[in-house]
Each structure stands twice: as C-alpha cells, then as structure tokens.
Amino acid sequence: MPLRECMESHTHREYLTWQAFFEDEWERPSRTDNYLMQIAAEVRRVLSKRPENIKIKHFRLTFGSREKSKAPLTREQATAASQAKWLGALGMLKRMTTGKKKK
C-alpha cells in the first residue's frame, strides 16, 4: 500500500494502535519467520562439520527494548552525544588526538 493511501485511509488513533500491536509482537516470530529459521538452519547444517550442534533457536533474531537509560546526562555527555549524532549524520569523523603535540 502506498504511503499516501495509508495515511488517507487510517486515523492517527488507528496508527498508534497499529504501532502498539507491532511493539508487542516484535519478539514473537511469525510462521514465515519460523520457516526462514528452519531454512537457515538446514543450509547451515549442510555446510557444518557437526550438523547435530546446529539448532533452530540459534537463528532467532532478538530485539532489545527501546527504553532509554533513566540516568540524566551531564552537559558534557549530552554535548558529546549530540555532536557524535550530527557528525555521523553528515558522514564526518571526529579526529582522535592523543593530547601530545608533535615538534
């Protein structure tokens, strides 16, 4: 479904309900996910020296919760985090220095 059509056919409340549903279902694999885990396990078993050690649970993807740490950041930590975020978004790297000057 195109994005424009989805936005026109659903209310904001329906969207939030949809998001909450997927947040709850994120950790539970669907039938398709189980089939894909089985296929990956079989391919790995074919290529392995010890196929009996390969289990389907090894191919299950786990997702962590999206909760942020509750400890407040200091001004320096917040500045460094913001700077790293912006530099990463712009594709720039912060140059690391050792603090020693070359003569």
Which tens digits make up the pLDDT trace of 25-65?
877 888 999 999 999 999 999 999 999 999 988 888 877 66
DSSP 103: -
Residue 63 · residue 27 · CB < 8 Å: yes
More confident residue, 71 or 18: 18
Using a pLDDT cut of 90, give the percent of the chain over it: 21
> Distance between the two ends of the chain, CA-based, in angstroms?
63
pLDDT score at 94: 61
Residue 58 · residue 41 · CB < 8 Å: yes
Does the pTM surpass 0.75? The reply is no
Q: Within 13 A of 79's CA, how many CA atoms are on the CB side?
A: 3
**In the structure encoding, which two tokens stand for residue 83, read together?**
């700077």
**d(C-alpha 44, C-alpha 40), whole Å:** 6
